[in-house]
């Protein structure tokens, strides 16, 4: 949203009474037609704004959409989320954020969409992105670290998201599944997709995409066995703007620390405490080979520590992990 549109929104949101067009003109130093233009933009974004002759404008209801003006009241960050670009629909927030990053958008910009027509997971998989219920967003980051460290960001985000989810829903039995998922009762609630543009010693930017099933009630048949939502797990509806702000609030200090550190050592206790795969027997599908073993932890570089049948420990840096049936 345009800065002034956001300011006008905030002014309306702070006041339960009608505000006259005249008054808005004076306060913001703009013309009547400019006020009207901003009101139209807000309405296009889904806000209900009453306009009554002789009385002025009044905000009737919040939309519950993750638009900037609704995220800001919850946001406590220094630089993350200072610009939130909201789109009712886009192909993929990662695609948009990448284009913005290439054009020079600063670190901390966030792209959010109410729905995606081409939401993507890893390796071009589809991310189911219906409108009105979930969170789809991408953060632009410009970490001054070598590109080899960038995959660690996925785990950093997972910890921040996990903390935000538990703040909203303390009973939620959410676990982090290395490398990029959050699961509840074995079903996927959230996926993270980090993409970067880099040279070996220099990371130009990272786009960190987050998809969370929040208030979704109907899961499509093809995902019924494998996906869930906060609503389905808790029976409650949640504020998407608040969830987004909480994620950013938790992520910013972790990110600041991570940039200063050489690795993930500082985060390992938090990661291992909520790690779904800890001590489990797993297979790791790396497309060209399948690894099997017992997970003994996460290494400081973010790799999964896998002890094979020969007793040797491998550091696994990528792949799709599957739990194996435990021997009784
Ligand atoms: C991921 O990939 O989990 C990363 C998902 C990232 C999505 C966000 S949304 C905002 C941003 N913009 C984008 O275009 N993407 C990011 P992966 O580990 O490859 O998992 C993909 C698999 O998860 C699919 O093949 C399905 O099996 C499953 N899946 C698809 N949509 C889902 C959903 N909404 N909830 C749970 N599982 C889903």
Compute, in angstroms, the gap from residue 191 CA to the centroid of ligand 1: 5
Compute, in angstroms, the gap from residue 155 CA to the centroid of ligand 1: 16
What dotted CATH number matches 3-61? 1.10.10.10
Tell me the pLDDT tens digit for each residue of 259-300: 999 999 999 999 999 999 999 999 999 988 999 999 999 999
- Structure token pair of residue 165: 């989810």
Residue environment code for 213-249, b if the CB has 16+ CB neighbours within 10 A, otherwise e? bbbbeebeeeeeeebbbbbbbbeeebbbbbbbbbbbb
pLDDT at residue 48 is higher than 90: no
Compute, in angstroms, the gap from residue 180 CA to the centroid of ligand 1: 10
- Which CATH architecture is the domain 281-323 placed in? Roll (2.30)
Listed in order, the ranges of the chain carrying CATH 3.30.930.10 are: 68-273
The full length of the chain comes to: 328
Listed in order, the ranges of the chain carrying CATH 2.30.30.100 are: 281-323
Listed in order, the ranges of the chain carrying CATH 1.10.10.10 are: 3-61
Q: Which secondary-structure segment (H or E) carries 61? A: strand 56-61
Tell me the pLDDT tens digit for each residue of 85-110: 998 889 999 999 999 999 999 999 99
- The residues lining ligand 1, judged by C-beta closer than 6 Å to any ligand atom, are 92-94, 116, 119-122, 125-128, 136-138, 180-181, 188, 191-193, 209-211, 213, 223, 226-227
What dotted CATH number matches 68-273? 3.30.930.10
Tell me the pLDDT tens digit for each residue of 54-75: 999 998 877 788 988 889 989 9
Most confident of 14-23, 38-47, 310-319: 310-319
- Structure token pair of residue 116: 């995606």
Task: Tell me what pLDDT residue 179 has.
Answer: 94
CB 262 within 8 A of CB 146: no
The pLDDT confidence band at residue 204, using thresholds 50, 70 and 90, is very high
Task: Tell me what pLDDT residue 220 has.
Answer: 97
The pLDDT confidence band at residue 327, using thresholds 50, 70 and 90, is low
> What's the predicted TM-score (pTM) here?
0.89
Task: Tell me what pLDDT residue 1 has.
Answer: 56
Compute, in angstroms, the gap from residue 120 CA to the centroid of ligand 1: 6
Which residue's C-alpha comes closest to atom 35 of ligand 1? 227
Compute, in angstroms, the gap from residue 113 CA to the centroid of ligand 1: 15
Atom of ligand 1 nearest to the CA of 94: 12
Task: Tell me what pLDDT residue 61 has.
Answer: 74
Look over the chain and give the mean of its residue pLDDT values, rounded to a whole number. Answer: 94
If one compares 68 and 134, the residue with the highest pLDDT of the two is 134
Residue 160 pairs with which residues in a beta bridge? none
């Amino acid at each position: 949203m345009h800065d002034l549109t956001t300011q006008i929104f905030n002014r309306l949101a702070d006041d339960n009474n009608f505000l006259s067009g005249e008054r808005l003109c004076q306060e913001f130093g703009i013309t009547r037609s400019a006020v009207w233009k901003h009101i139209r933009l807000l309405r296009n974004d889904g806000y209900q704004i009453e306009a009554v002759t002789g009385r002025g404008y009044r905000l009737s209801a919040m939309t519950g959409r993750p638009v900037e003006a609704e995220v800001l009241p919850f946001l406590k960050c220094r630089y993350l989320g200072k610009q939130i670009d909201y789109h009712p629909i886009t192909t993929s927030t990662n695609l948009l954020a990448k284009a913005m990053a290439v054009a020079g958008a600063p670190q901390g910009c966030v792209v959010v969409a109410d729905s995606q027509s081409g939401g993507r997971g890893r390796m071009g998989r589809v991310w189911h992105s219906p409108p009105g219920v979930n969170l789809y967003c991408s953060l632009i980051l410009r970490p001054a670290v070598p590109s080899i460290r960038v995959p660690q960001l996925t785990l950093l985000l997972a910890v921040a998201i996990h903390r935000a989810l538990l703040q909203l829903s303390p009973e939620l039995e959410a676990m982090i599944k290395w490398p990029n998922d959050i699961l509840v009762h074995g079903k996927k609630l959230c996926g993270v997709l980090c993409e970067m543009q880099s040279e070996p010693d220099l990371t130009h930017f990272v786009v960190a995409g987050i998809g969370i099933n929040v208030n979704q009630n109907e899961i499509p048949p093809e995902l019924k066995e494998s996906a869930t939502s906060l609503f389905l797990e808790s029976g409650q509806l949640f504020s998407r703007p608040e969830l987004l702000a909480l994620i950013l609030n938790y992520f910013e200090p972790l990110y600041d620390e991570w940039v200063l550190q050489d690795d993930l050592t500082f985060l390992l206790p938090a990661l291992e405490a909520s790690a779904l795969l800890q001590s489990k027997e797993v297979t790791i599908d790396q497309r060209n080979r399948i690894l099997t073993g017992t997970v003994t932890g996460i290494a400081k570089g973010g790799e999964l520590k896998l002890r094979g049948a020969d007793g040797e420990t491998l550091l696994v840096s990528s792949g799709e992990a599957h739990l194996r049936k435990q021997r009784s």
